[in-house]
Structure 1
Amino acid sequence: MRVRELRRLVLLVIPLLLLLYTGFLCLDTQPPGSYYQVKNWIRGKLYSSYSVLELRPSASSDIDDDVNKSGGLFLPNPNETHVELFSLSTPDKKYFRLRFGDRLAINPNIIPHPLLENTWVMIAQQHDPLDATHIQFVELACDATFDESKSELHCLFPPIALPIAPTGLGNCKDELEYFNLNVGPHDARVFYGPRASFVVYGSNSHETCFGQWIQDFRVLMNWESGTEGQEQESFFKLGTELRRPGPYSATEKNWFVFWDVDGQMYAHHDVAPRRVFAKLNADGSAGPDLAPLAAEAGDKRCLDEYMPKPGPEDESIHQATNSLSVTMCRRYESDCRPSDANTFLFTIFQHKTFHRFHSVYEPYVMAFRRRLPFQVYGMSRKPLWIHGRERAGETRSQMFYVTSVSWKASGQKYHGYLDDVLFLGFGIEDQEAAGIDVLASDLLAGLGLCSEILRQ
C-alpha cells in the first residue's frame, strides 16, 4: 500500500516540478535551477528584508522597462550614472577580498586595531551556504593584515566567535513565527564612537519580533574598557536592547548611533519614508522623535529633492552603515579647524531593488549637522559604484551591499578630514566579504547640498 501511494505522489510531484522549471525559464535567462538563484529569491523575500510586505513576487510583465525607469539596474557606464570609487591599495584599483581563514563570511566590518599598527579587526557573519535552517547565527572576529601580493585583508589567526549572548524568544507571529527559533546575532555593525567601540546587532526582541541590540565591543574582545566613569560610553557592558519612538515594525534592522558635538548619543532608526531619530539613554530607551524638528528646518524639501524614489513594487530604501564625523577640509591646511559650519555626520544608505529573482543595492551618502535638530546637510546626487563590481548582461549587475564605514588609520576613531582614508566593508551576492579603501573626499564627492534647494 505504501509503495502504491508513493508512486502516486511521484506522479503528482514530477509534473509540478516541470511546471516550476518552465516558469523559471520564462522569467529569467540565468540558470533557472541554480542553488543561488533560488536562495537569493528566498533571502530577498524573507531573510534579507525581514519584511512581510515583500512576500510577493513582482507582477510586472515589462520588468526591464520598469527597472530602467526606476534607475535600478541599467548601467551603460558607471562614470555617467554613478560616483565610481577606486582603491588606494590595490594595483588595479579594484576592491579586495576579506579572508577569514577557511570560514565563509558575509556582512563585514573593518576597524583599526586599538593597539597594533598596520593591523585591523575584521568582523563578519559566519555563512554556511548549505545550512537551510538559518537558526544558529555567529559573528566571527580576527586581527587582520593586508597582503599586497594577493590584494586581500586576511586573518592572522583563525577567527573566533564573538561571545554575544542569545536574547531569548521573540514575539514573532504568523509569517515570521520561525524567527522565534533564532539563536545569536544577525548583521552586526562594529564601529568606533568618539572614545569606545561598539557593536549593534539584530536579535530576538522584547518589544517586537526582531529588534536591535548594542554592546561595548571591548568587552567582547577582552580589551581594556578604558575609563571607569559614568560617561555614556562606559554603558552597554552587557547586550542592551535599543528602543525607538513608536510604532515598531515587526522586524527592525540596521539602526545606527551617532554623537553630537557634546558627546551625547542618539539612535537613528529610519531614513525613509521619513527620518526617525531620538536621544539614546543608558538603558537603551529612547526619547521622543526629533525628526519633525529637522523637517521644519528644511529636511522635507531636501529629502524630496535628493532621496532616490523607489519603484511601486519590490523596491525600498534601507539604512546600511554606522555613522562617522568629517570636517570638510584637509587636515594639514592651516585654516582647517572643525566647527559647526564645516563638520558633519554622515552615513551610507541604500536603494534596494528586487527584480527577476535578484537583488541590487545602490549606496548613497547622507550627511547631516552635528547639533540639534540634526538637519540634513547634503546627499549623494548619484549612487556609489565600487570599482570591480561587474555587470551580468546589459541590464543586471552584481549585488554589492555596503555594511560598514570606518577610518583606516591606526588610532583614528569617529572623526576625520577629507584627506583621510576610509575603509568600506561590503558583501557580494550573499557569498563573500570584501572591502575598499578610499579618500573621504572621493566618497563625499558630488553631494547635493540642501542649502541649494532651500534657496530656490
Structure 2
Amino acid sequence: MIYLPPLRRYLLPAIIFVTLIISYRALPVPTSLPSFVLHPAPANPQGIHVPISGLQDPLPIANASYNHLSPPNRYYYSYDKTEKTFKDSSNPALWRPELDPSLETLFTCPTEVNRYTGHLRLPDIVQNISQIPPGSLKPESRVFWNPTVIALPYWSDNQYLVVSRIVTDGNHQENVLCEANVCYVGSGEDARPREKPCTQDDLRHVGPGGGMRCASLPVTLSVPPTPAERCEGKFMPYVDIPGFHDPRIFWSGKGEPLMMVNTQSRYACFGLWIIDLRTLHSSLQKLLTSSPSRPSLGPLKSYPTLTELTRNPADTRSQIEKNWFLFFPSSGESYIHYDLSDPQGGFRGRTFAKLLGNGLTTTNLTDPLEQPCLRDLTDAEEPDKMKRGGTWHQATNSLRLVLCHRFDFDCKEKPENTVFFAIVHRKFPNWLKLPLRYERYFMVWSATPPFEMLGISQHPILMGNETASGWSASENWSDDPANDKIVAMTKKTAANATEPYGGKDYWAYFTYTVSISYAWGRQPRVAKDGGDEAEDMHVGYLDDEVLLAIGVDDKGQAFSRVEAGDLVQCLRACTGRNGNKGEGG
C-alpha cells in the first residue's frame, strides 16, 4: 500500500491539470474565435455627468441653495449644436431661423377671424368636468375650479387624471385628485375609443353636451408644508396660509407623472415646487409597472419628494414666482422656461435654463441675439379700447409636436420637424383693474438648441361656445344663426356648475386655460403596440387631439379637445436674431 503525506497526495492531480492546460494552449486558435483582449477603460463622461473634481473649470458650489453657478458653456448640451440660421438679404443685420419646409403649416391661416373681436374661433366646444362620481348619494357643496388634466396610458381602467382646486375661505388652500372618464351624447359617430354614452345621471352633472366625470370620490392631495423665507410688505399675510395652489400636472420625457405647485419658498415668499404624482397617488405606481407590452418597474423618480425649482443666479429671483413650465428635448434632459420676452422692453426678456438636478439650474441659456417675439401696440396706438392694457404671462405646461400626421409613414420624426408648444395668456383688466378676460395664444419654439422662438398666434383662439368678454353677443357671434344650437348643447344643469352669465348668449364668458395634454385613446403607429406608453405621453402629431383643461370664472371647470394642427395654425413668425447686438447684447 502506497502512503502519501496529506499535502503530497494532491501532487499527482495537480501535475495532470497543468499538463492539460499546457496542451490546450498549444492547440491552434481558430480564426473565427478572436483572442481574448482586455477592453480599454471607458471614456470620461461628458456634460453634467463629469465629476466636479474632474472639471477644468470647477463649479464653485459653496452653498447650493443660494450660490450655485452653472457649468461652462460646453456642458450645457449633451448633443451637437448646429448652425440653424441664414442671413436675411433684406436686412443684413437680421438673422432668421432656417425653417424646415414642414414648418410652413404653422404659418397658414385657413380660418377667418371675427371682424369685431379679432378672435379665431374653432368649431370644437367646451364641455364640463364634474367631481361627483356615479352612484354618489351625498350632496356636494364644494365648488371645484382651476382643473389640470393628463391622459392615462392606454391600459388604464380610466382615461384621465384630474387635479382641481376647491374654493375656500382664503385662509387655506385645498386640492383634490380623481381618475375620470368622458361620456358622449348622440349617435356615437364622433365618440372616441372606449367612450361610453352619457346616462341621465351623467347629464345631470355634466350637462346635455356630455363631458368628463370622476370615476370615484376625489381624494385630498397633501404635500409637506414649506417655509417662507421672505414675505415682506403686502405679501406678509401669505406666510401662514397652509396648502399649495395653482397645480399643473404633466408627463416628463421619461414618462414620469409630475405635478408643479405654488407654495411658500425657501428663497423668497412663494416659489414653484415639483413632485412625482406616484408619491401622492399609489395607483399610478401600480399602473406604470403593469404595461402589457413593455413590462418594467416604471421610470425612475427624478422628484420622489417635494423639490423646489430655482432660478440662477439668486439675485434674479422674485418674491412671488409663478407660471414656469418644463420642456423635455430628450428623455434624459429637462429645461425650465421662466419668462417670455417683454414687448414693452422689460428688464428680463425671455429666460430659460437647464435643470441640473435637485431643482438647481444653469443660468439663462436664451440666445443673447434672439429678438423679442411678443409685440404690442401702446395704448395710444391701439384704436380699439377693448384691446388696451393687456399683459402677457405663461399659462400652461408644454407639449412636444411632430409636424407629421400620425399615419403618414413617409414623414419621419426628425429634429427639423419637431417643435414645442404651450399656451400664453394675454390678460385684460376692466375699469376696476380686475381681470376682464384672458386671451389664449399659442407659442411655438424649436426642439433643438438654442431652442429659438419660431412663432406665436396672430390672433387669440376661442372654442366654439366661448364668449369674449367686453363685446356684445351679436359682436361675438356675428349674428351667427347657429348660436341657439350652440347654447342648447352647452347649457349647464348641475347646481354647482357655472351658469351662463347674463343669459344664454354669454356662455363661458370668463375662461382661462390651466394645462394641456394629448387626449386619451390615440392609436399606435405600430400595430403591435397597444397604444401610448408613459414615455410617449408628451409627444404627438398634427392630427392628435390635445385636451385643454379650462377654468371658468374661478368657480367652474371644463375641457375641450382640438387637433394639435388647428391649435398651432396661423402663427406670426418671430423676428429671429439681430447680428448687430454682438455677443454681449
Q: So what's the TM-score if we normalise by structure 2?
A: 0.58
Are residues 1:249 and 2:299 paired?
no
Q: Does the Cα contact within 8 Å between 1:272 and 1:317 map onto a contact in 2?
A: no
Distance 1:82 1:255 in 2: 26
Distance 1:352 1:112 in 2: 28
Give the alignment partner of residue 129 of structure 2, picking from 76, 98, 110: 98
CA shift in 2, pair 1:182/1:85, >3 Å: farther
Which residue in 2 is equivalent to 1:377?
A: 454
Are residues 1:127 and 2:163 paired?
no
Q: Does the Cα contact within 8 Å between 2:114 and 2:120 map onto a contact in 1?
A: no
Distance 2:389 2:241 in 1: 25
Q: Which runs of 5+ in 1 are unaligned?
A: 1-75, 88-93
Distance 1:413 1:393 in 2: 37
Which residue in 1 is equivalent to 2:445?
A: 368
Which residue in 2 is equivalent to 1:90?
A: none
Q: Which has the higher helix share?
A: 1
Which residue in 1 is equivalent to 2:119?
A: 82
Q: Does the Cα contact within 8 Å between 2:117 and 2:471 map onto a contact in 1?
A: no
Deviation at 1:237, TM superposition (A): 0.5
Are residues 1:162 and 2:199 paired?
no
Deviation at 1:135, TM superposition (A): 2.5
Q: Which has the higher strand share?
A: 1
Q: Does the Cα contact within 8 Å between 2:117 and 2:468 map onto a contact in 1?
A: no
Q: Deviations over 1:127-181 (max 9, x none)?
A: 13xx2xx131122111111132431211111111112222133420111101101
Distance 1:212 1:361 in 2: 22
Deviation at 1:82, TM superposition (A): 1.9
Give the alignment partner of residue 197 of structure 1, picking from 239, 253, 257: 257
Specify the SS of the correspondent of 2:179.
strand
Deviation at 1:78, TM superposition (A): 7.0
Q: Does the Cα contact within 8 Å between 2:469 and 2:510 map onto a contact in 1?
A: no
CA shift in 2, pair 1:307/1:160, >3 Å: farther
Which residue in 2 is equivalent to 1:315?
A: 390
CA shift in 2, pair 1:367/1:117, >3 Å: farther
Which residue in 1 is equivalent to 2:357?
A: 282
Structure 1 residues 134-149: aligned runs within 5 Å: 134-148=170-184, 149=198
Specify the SS of the correspondent of 2:268.
coil
Note the aligned Cα RMSD (angstroms).
2.7
Task: Name the count of aligned residue pairs.
Answer: 361
Deviation at 1:126, TM superposition (A): 1.2
Which residue in 1 is equivalent to 2:150?
A: 111
> 137-146 or 396-405: which moved more?
396-405
- State the AA in 2 paired with 1:261: S
CA shift in 2, pair 1:250/1:197, >3 Å: same
Deviation at 1:371, TM superposition (A): 1.7
CA shift in 2, pair 1:448/1:323, >3 Å: same
- State the AA in 2 paired with 1:365: F
Give the alignment partner of residue 556 of structure 2, picking from 429, 432, 453: 432
Distance 2:246 2:561 in 1: 21
Give the alignment partner of residue 181 of structure 1, picking from 237, 240, 262: 240
Q: Does the Cα contact within 8 Å between 1:308 and 1:351 map onto a contact in 2?
A: no
- State the AA in 2 paired with 1:315: G
Distance 1:344 1:79 in 2: 32
Q: Does the Cα contact within 8 Å between 2:159 and 2:179 map onto a contact in 1?
A: yes
Distance 1:452 1:212 in 2: 30
Deviation at 1:442, TM superposition (A): 0.9
Which residue in 1 is equivalent to 2:33?
A: none
Distance 1:217 1:429 in 2: 27
Specify the SS of the correspondent of 1:322.
strand
Deviation at 1:83, TM superposition (A): 2.3
Which residue in 1 is equivalent to 2:305?
A: 238
Which residue in 2 is equivalent to 1:70?
A: none
Distance 2:250 2:414 in 1: 23
Distance 1:343 1:168 in 2: 40
Deviation at 1:335, TM superposition (A): 1.6
Distance 2:424 2:242 in 1: 27
Which residue in 1 is equivalent to 2:328?
A: 259
Deviation at 1:418, TM superposition (A): 0.2
Deviation at 1:380, TM superposition (A): 0.8
Q: Does the Cα contact within 8 Å between 1:78 and 1:84 map onto a contact in 2?
A: no
Q: Does the Cα contact within 8 Å between 1:261 and 1:371 map onto a contact in 2?
A: no
Q: Does the Cα contact within 8 Å between 1:236 and 1:282 map onto a contact in 2?
A: no
Q: Does the Cα contact within 8 Å between 2:275 and 2:305 map onto a contact in 1?
A: yes
Q: Does the Cα contact within 8 Å between 2:181 and 2:215 map onto a contact in 1?
A: yes
Q: Which runs of 5+ in 2 are unaligned?
A: 1-112, 133-139, 185-197, 204-209, 290-295, 343-348, 381-387, 474-505, 522-531, 579-585
Which structure is larger by alpha-carbon Rg, 1 or 2? 2
- State the AA in 2 paired with 1:111: I
> 278-287 or 102-111: which moved more?
102-111
